[in-house]
């Protein structure tokens, strides 16, 4: 990563390098002795999933620059080489942890993945029977010849390449064959236990197939083979100005996604140069794109293994979120919101309250209309079913469905069609912009007039991820706030000019400008001799205008703290440049996802919550919201739980150094301090709000 201290004064950190640095911090959880063994294995799988997405979404320009030897935006041959080198080092470390630490530790606990050479005769008989009955009927080897060219290989699918000796049925020496492994096959299978034994023995699907490859090629000799997996560019790109039906175009695009440009090739560590070079040629990949791995080519599938193991002692202690402190179970949400706003801090407080809010609206005969955005709601779609029930009960239901939510496109198309099938009004936002805002608006008749209630959130309407992501939900009956939300829904549906908003800042119109104005106001305060402070919490900081404004604020003397989970281009602590900037990243059991922006100028304070990270796309190419928290008690609570606790975290925090590297906050604590006694924001909040379950 570029050292900003030795760079021009306008230099920022490299965004893609910062993404890889984030994954190095995630990988650290797979090494931590205080983390249960199966959870360490899961963090290893998370890193693999993140790397898949990095290649699918971020890597194509660098790869093209390497192939053409021409610059593509900020991507060059040099950026390609630097990124590939870092990914190779990261993957090497992953497999070292897998082979040298986690697998031996699991074996000591009686859990083994048994390879062919270690199976006893009974196990070999069972594996063979499983292969014959469950696997072989689904395999179709493809021998390559002029009439059978190299087959289409789907993104991230498991395959085998086999080199054969002898001749085929027609007397030809076609030596290469491909075996595709269907996704329907379980990647890890538990073998029957020995009577009286508590040991758990598993076998991988790749091991089952490789042990019986000769059965797939009778009359031929298997000379060599390797499993392989290719990662492809998978970011859908549509010219929306030319598309007449976005939903249909996306369905067609989803079919092509699996066969985009090849960017990475993973093979077994023992794969011969002959087979590796053959595959590189087929996929038009340079040698640097080859990853030889000493283990499964897809560590993401370890999740299937983890889910089959019933060992509570090897998992995190079960956490049961409490009911939100601002709500009384059974009390009407509408009556409660007449008394003031309500904050729900997920996952420490239960997302079930949000579902209960919508359910009460669906069942209340006085509720006339429900409007909601759908970005990522999960495949199960509990909220979709509640909205469908609202239509059946005669309410006006409007859903703004974002079809272009990356990797959730198909699920959102299905949600849209299910809502339309019962008569809900479904709109797809505005051409060229993703609707990333999370908002719900309830309109209710009370005493002869219409009253509105709103829910806005930093996270998605997804009950599954709400148990894993930290987010803030905000319920309000504030007239100015709910009027703003109503105006935004009207704007998204009609695409008419947006009326003036009184409380909410909305991207792409006001949000970036509003944040820049507040940074500039902090600078003005310092110049007037007043204390000024900025504290920001977000997932990513990559928007250059906002980063540049923070640099200028630092140079003016504004104290700036940034809690940023992932990519960050803003350097920290560089003398004369970002001397007043401190940046930390907190990686914990839960994925940090809430966005909180605090500004202090003298005695004046502002606190904002938002659906948006400080990224260019969020500011200029998405529909996003930011809203102020004016209730003193709620503001104090957010300051404590989302900012102060995280700034004090020494157990899970990493600190960005002036040289662009991150170091563990725990490593800066005095020797002899036990890691488990260090302050942890997430541990504190779990203890504060969780219930025994």
72 is in an annotated binding site: no
Asked if residues 595 and 612 have their Cβ atoms less than 8 Å apart, the reply is yes
Residue environment code for 353-372, b if the CB has 16+ CB neighbours within 10 A, otherwise e: bbbbbbbebbebeebebbbb
Helical packing angle, 37-53 and 77-97, nearest 10°: 160
Is residue 436 part of the annotated active site? The answer reads: yes
Cα torsion 152, 155, 159, 163: sign: positive
Count the Cβ atoms, other than its own, within 10 Å of residue 410.
14
301 is in an annotated binding site: no
675 is in an annotated binding site: no
What are the Cα distances from residue 663, in Å, to 22, 537, 579, 650, 659? Answer: 12, 19, 18, 11, 11
Count the Cβ atoms, other than its own, within 10 Å of residue 125.
11
23 is in an annotated binding site: no
Alpha helices in 179-300 (DSSP H): 205-211, 213-216, 246-257, 273-283
- The active-site residue out of 212, 233, 436, 487 is 436
DSSP calls for 41-108: HHHHHHHHHHHHHIIIIISHHHHHHHHHTS-BTTB-HHHHHHHHHHHHHHHHHHHHHIIIIIHHHHHH
Alpha carbons 137 and 215: distance in angstroms, whole number: 12
3-state DSSP helix/strand/coil percent for the chain, to nearest 5? 40, 25, 35
DSSP category for residue 352: H
Count the Cβ atoms, other than its own, within 10 Å of residue 420.
15
Alpha carbons 290 and 311: distance in angstroms, whole number: 36
Order of strands, sheet of 200-204, starting from the edge strand that comes earlier in the sequence: 111-113, 200-204, 188-190
Phi and psi, residue 131, nearest 5°:
-60, -50
**276: its two tokens:** 């590796």
Q: Strand pairing partners for 266?
A: 229, 291
Q: What is the largest CA-CA distance in the chain?
A: 90
H-helix or E-strand containing 522? Answer: helix 511-527
336 is in an annotated binding site: no
Asked if residues 177 and 159 have their Cβ atoms less than 8 Å apart, the reply is no
The number of angstroms, rounded, from the C-alpha of 574 to the middle of its chain's C-alpha atoms is 30
**194: its two tokens:** 């020995």
| Angle value at C-alpha 353, between 352 and 354, nearest 5 degrees | 90
Phi and psi, residue 107, nearest 5°:
-65, -35
593 is in an annotated binding site: yes
Q: Give pairs for 636-639: CB < 8 Å, separation 24+.
A: 637/343, 638/343, 638/472, 638/596, 638/607, 638/609, 639/598, 639/607
Which residue numbers belong to the known binding site for ATP? Answer: 50, 469, 565, 593
Which residue numbers belong to the known binding site for Mg(2+)? Answer: 376, 406
Which residues are designated catalytic? Answer: 436
Which residue numbers belong to the known binding site? Answer: 50, 376, 406, 469, 565, 593
């Amino acid at each position: 990563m570029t050292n900003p201290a030795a760079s021009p004064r306008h230099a920022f950190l490299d965004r893609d390098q910062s993404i890889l640095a984030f994954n190095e911090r995630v990988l650290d959880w797979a090494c931590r002795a205080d983390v249960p063994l199966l959870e360490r294995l899961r963090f290893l799988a998370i890193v693999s999933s993140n790397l898949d997405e990095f290649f699918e979404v971020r890597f194509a320009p660098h790869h093209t620059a390497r192939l053409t030897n021409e610059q593509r935006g900020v991507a060059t041959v040099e950026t390609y080489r630097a990124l590939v080198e870092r990914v190779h080092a990261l993957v090497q470390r992953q497999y070292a942890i897998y082979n040298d630490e986690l697998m031996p530790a699991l074996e000591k606990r009686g859990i083994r993945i048994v390879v062919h050479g270690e199976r006893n005769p009974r196990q070999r008989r069972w594996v063979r029977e499983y292969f014959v009955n469950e696997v072989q009927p689904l395999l179709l080897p493809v021998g390559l010849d002029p009439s059978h060219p190299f087959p289409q290989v789907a993104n991230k699918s498991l395959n085998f390449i086999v080199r054969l000796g002898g001749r085929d049925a027609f007397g030809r020496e076609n030596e290469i064959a491909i075996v595709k492994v269907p996704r329907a096959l379980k990647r890890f299978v538990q073998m029957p236990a020995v009577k009286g034994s508590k040991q758990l023995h598993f076998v991988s699907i790749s091991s089952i197939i490789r042990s019986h490859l000769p059965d797939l090629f009778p009359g031929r000799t298997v000379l060599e083979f390797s499993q392989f997996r290719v990662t492809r560019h998978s970011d859908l790109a549509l010219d929306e100005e030319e598309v007449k039906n976005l939903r249909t175009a996306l369905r067609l695009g989803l079919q092509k996604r699996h066969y985009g440009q090849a960017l990475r090739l993973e093979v077994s560590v023992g794969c011969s140069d002959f087979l590796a070079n053959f595959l590189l040629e087929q996929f038009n990949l340079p040698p640097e794109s080859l990853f030889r791995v000493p283990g499964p080519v897809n560590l993401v599938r370890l999740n299937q293994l983890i889910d089959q193991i019933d060992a509570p002692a090897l998992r995190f202690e079960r956490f049961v979120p409490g009911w939100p402190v601002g709500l009384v179970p059974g009390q009407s949400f509408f009556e409660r919101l007449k008394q003031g706003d309500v904050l729900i801090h997920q996952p420490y407080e239960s997302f079930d309250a949000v579902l209960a809010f919508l359910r009460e609206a669906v069942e209340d005969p006085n509720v006339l209309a429900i409007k909601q955005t759908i970005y990522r709601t999960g495949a199960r779609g509990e909220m979709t079913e509640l909205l469908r029930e609202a239509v059946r009960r005669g309410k006006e239901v409007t859903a703004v469905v974002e079809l272009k939510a990356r990797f959730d496109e198909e699920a959102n198309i299905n949600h849209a069609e299910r809502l339309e099938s019962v008569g809900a009004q479904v709109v797809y936002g505005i051409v060229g912009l993703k609707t990333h805002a999370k908002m719900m608006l309830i309109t209710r008749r009370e005493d002869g007039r219409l009253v509105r209630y709103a829910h806005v959130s930093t996270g998605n309407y997804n009950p599954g991820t709400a148990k894993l992501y930290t987010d803030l939900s905000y319920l309000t009956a504030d007239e100015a706030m709910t009027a703003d939300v109503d105006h935004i829904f009207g704007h998204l549906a009609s695409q008419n000019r947006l009326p003036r908003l009184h409380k909410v800042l909305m991207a792409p119109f006001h949000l970036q400008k509003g944040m820049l104005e507040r940074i500039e106001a902090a600078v003005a305060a310092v110049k007037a001799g007043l204390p000024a402070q900025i504290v920001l919490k977000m997932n990513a900081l990559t928007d250059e205008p906002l980063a540049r404004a923070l640099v200028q604020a630092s140079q003016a003397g504004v104290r700036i703290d940034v809690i940023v989970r992932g990519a960050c281009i803003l350097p920290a602590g560089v003398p004369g440049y970002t001397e007043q900037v401190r940046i930390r990243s907190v990686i914990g059991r839960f994925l940090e996802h809430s966005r909180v922006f605090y500004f202090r100028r003298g005695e004046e304070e502002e606190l904002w919550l938002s659906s948006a990270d400080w990224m260019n796309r969020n500011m200029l190419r998405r529909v996003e919201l930011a809203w102020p928290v004016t209730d003193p008690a709620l503001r104090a609570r957010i300051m404590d739980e989302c900012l102060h606790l995280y700034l004090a975290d020494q157990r899970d925090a990493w600190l960005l150094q002036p040289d662009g590297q991150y170091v563990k906050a725990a490593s800066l604590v005095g020797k002899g301090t036990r890691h488990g006694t260090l302050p942890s924001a997430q541990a504190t909040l779990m203890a504060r709000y969780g219930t025994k379950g």
